[in-house]
Amino acid sequence: MTFHKVLIANRGEIALRVLEACRELSVDAVAVFSQVDAGMPYLNLAGERLCIGPADPAKSYLSIPAIISAAELSGAEAIHPGYGFLAESPDFVEVCEDHGLVFVGPPREVMALLGNKVAARSAVAAAGIPVLPGEVISEDGEVSAAGERVGYPLLVKATYGGGGRGMRFVAEREELESAVIAAGAEAKAACGDDSLYLERAVESPRHIEVQILADSYGNIVHFGERECSVQRRHQKLIEESPASHLDEETRSALHAAAIAAARAVGYRNAGTVEFVLDSEDQFYFIEMNARIQVEHSVSEVVSGVNLIKEQIRIASGDKLRFTQDEIDIRGHALECRINAEDPSNGFLPSSGKVIIDELPNGFGIRVDTHLYNGMEVVPYYDSLLAKVISWGEDREEACIRMYTALERFRVRGIKTTRSFAQEIVSHPSFRQERLTTDFLSNLAAE
């Protein structure tokens, strides 16, 4: 089956990526937009464009009725959700299916399983994949005994949701009760559900994930791993592929575990299996993201495969076009997220009109962005402005190219994290040491 028309239920740089992929596949694209996004130049690349509501995401990009109506009005056969917004909503997938629309992503039941982190842990553990000791917090609210059984230090984690919301680190028993109250309130506000579980914490872990693609015929491949340990408050800032300071035995075992996890849950389309590694490189499954991720670009650069195009092909019913042996991971890639935030003021979001003096380009440099000169950065959406990706024959070359590219990323009118990213990639510890998720806090303490 080949799609004739795909609706893109997103905005910004990911919407542009999907638009470009549709063009390359000779598929008509329908772009939706909120009233405040009406002037985005990328909309002109779409065959059709439809306004779906005001700036408020709840009334536009998160409005299932608005998006379904746009799909029906335009005659689209499929919907690509991008990332964020409705990309991991089982309810949205179900409504798509009820209306005869193909969702470019996993089936509803798989997404629902993975959205419940406790159920996902159980499913992959049954397949023999290591998970950390954990326990669901019972409805009676008795957590002390559960904490003792799990062991300290531990994490209080939301059963649903992501992005670090509803997560608290607990070093010792006395901190547990207050952490549970705070995490539950945050989880309730973020996703409407305050259910929590406890999980043993790995101190100074590495955060490494594996990109996979799975078709409807049982074929699953991976695209190597990504190092995502440079984080601030559980939000990734810099990603790279492949991971450094990782022996080949562990690397191969991670890849195999990711494939096994995808197979255990009946996964289909693009997904990411996430692990933490301890100081001995013992890895543990933490979750699987049922969508394309922001950092997919580094995997594309080292593999030469357009993952967005493959998503659409798989959703249309095609088999994977390559085997694992045909995927060649070459060189090293880094990605820096440039956010509209002020690092000198607690990373507060920044709004205003963008004046572009220069954007980087050249050999080994890729910039994924929807930015244009005079664009008004508004406070309604995620602060991501651009992704700067560098490639090199080795990690050092990729770092040098990234530093130069960041130097040439020059915009005015708003505050960005560009200089902060440049400081990180030029720091001796980043260039030489094994990365862990407390890298930035250690850097701040110097």
> Strand, helix or coil at 99?
coil
- Residue 166 near residue 186, CB atoms below 8 Å: yes
Q: CA-based Rg of the chain, rounded to a whole angstrom?
A: 21
* Other Cβ atoms closer than 10 A to 134: 21
E strand or H helix at 122, and its extent?
A: helix 117-126
Quick check: 98 and 301 in contact, CB under 8 A?
Answer: no
Q: How far is CA 89 from CA 15, 103, 119, 142, 195, in A?
A: 18, 11, 16, 31, 17
CA distance 107 to 121: 19
Catalytic (active site) residue 431: no
151 touches 200 (CB < 8 A):
yes
Residue 428: phi, psi to the nearest 5? -55, -35
Give phi and psi for 237, each to the nearest 5.
-115, -40
267 near 288, Cβ under 8 Å? Answer: yes
| CA pair distance 67, 221, nearest whole angstrom | 31
**Contacts by 316-322 with C-beta closer than 8 Å and gap 24+?**
316/1, 316/2, 316/3, 316/78, 316/102, 317/1, 317/216, 318/215, 319/215, 319/216, 319/217, 319/219, 320/213, 320/215, 320/217, 320/219, 320/221, 322/221
* Active-site option among 108, 291, 366, 418: 291
CA distance 252 to 220: 15
How would DSSP label each residue in 45-81?
A: GSSEEEEEE-SSGGGTTT-HHHHHHHHHHHT-SEEE-
Calpha distance 248→329 (Å, rounded)? 14
Residues marked as catalytic: 291
